[in-house]
Structure 1
């Protein structure tokens, strides 16, 4: 069983990105499971706290290490990722020498009301993953645009988008197996 840890970089209660993450959890193929963690309550990263990590951060880092793969769902704020997502990534990569993303297979998706479907945020997140030494799945990319047409009452209803999400999860499972060949 491939254990995927998923989280969304949005705090909004009715976030389309959180709804996309929940849809992925429902669409995950046999042989994998997605555990969702909420990163919204994390304190702001502060190096002074590294010697004694806050409990939520220590738990998050442990879950990342134990996971076989990671699924990040990002909104796009000002052509980039959200502050809450960046904060979680900063905590996960610290203290120096304790990068919880090191060598992890990662899939990225995002949803927005705009027409570019979080493309700029996802490409920025890919740049950050280079530093994290995380191995980002290249294809398929999931950039959900025009969300009002694809979600109803917090549920993903667009069949084409559901199919692409499932395809990405299948690809993430294969990528994880490939990277974990020993």
Structure 2
């Protein structure tokens, strides 16, 4: 059975993105294990000159490295991902490179109509950066709009169409994980490129 990380893309304690990942964790427990990862306790990124990373960052990177894939669920603030998620990705690409060639599925929940569509587009761009080099599942979006009304009292999604779409995407992601994890020939080179990349040298 595959082991996935469900990265909660916000530091909010009441986020519906956390609820969405909890639903995925529960609903697909027969198909994969999903371990939720919080970023709310990550310190503010300060680019330490000696490259010494906080233990919470090292532990998160090790879990991502060992996982078969990662699901990131992001809200949308001002048409963008939250500062806390950018902060987490800054840490997770500073002298550590757990996302290089890592299969990633993006989901998102928002209170409004668009369901974090702009934030998801921005997140794709960030994950494709030279320092991260993740393998993002193409042609897939799960946009949970009006998320405050989307869950029942037991944290289940109410809308059967949404459940059906999420089920299809999740199962496609498991196939995508298998495919990506066979593409290992260039992994060493990709990781080396990420390690050696510097905007100052361009």
TM norm structure 1: 0.92
Shift of 1:104: 0.5
Instruction: Say whether the 8 Å CA contact 1:139–1:171 is kept in structure 2.
Output: no
Counterpart residue number, 1:114: 112
Distance (Å, rounded) in 1 between the aligned partners of 2:138 and 2:168: 12
Of 99, 102, 105, which residue of structure 2 is paired with 1:101?
A: 99
Inter-CA distance 31–151: structure 2 relative to 1 (3 Å threshold): closer
Q: Say which is worse superposed, 141-150 or 66-75, in terms of deviation.
A: 141-150
Instruction: Say whether the 8 Å CA contact 1:11–1:40 is kept in structure 2.
Output: yes
Counterpart residue number, 1:174: 175
User: What SS does the aligned partner of 1:71 have?
Assistant: strand
Distance (Å, rounded) in 2 between the aligned partners of 1:49 and 1:23: 40
Distance (Å, rounded) in 2 between the aligned partners of 1:45 and 1:154: 36
Inter-CA distance 99–163: structure 2 relative to 1 (3 Å threshold): same
Counterpart residue number, 1:12: 12
Structure number with greater CO (CA < 8 Å, separation at least 6) is 1
Instruction: Say whether the 8 Å CA contact 2:12–2:40 is kept in structure 1.
Output: no
Asked if 1:86 corresponds to 2:54, the answer is: no
Shift of 1:121: 0.1
1:20-99 matches, within 5 Å, as: 20-28=20-28, 30-48=30-48, 51-95=51-95, 98-99=96-97
Distance (Å, rounded) in 2 between the aligned partners of 1:20 and 1:50: 38
Highest CA radius of gyration, 1 or 2? 2
Counterpart residue number, 1:158: 159
Gaps of 5+ in 2: 184-202
Counterpart residue number, 2:186: none
Distance (Å, rounded) in 2 between the aligned partners of 1:8 and 1:157: 21
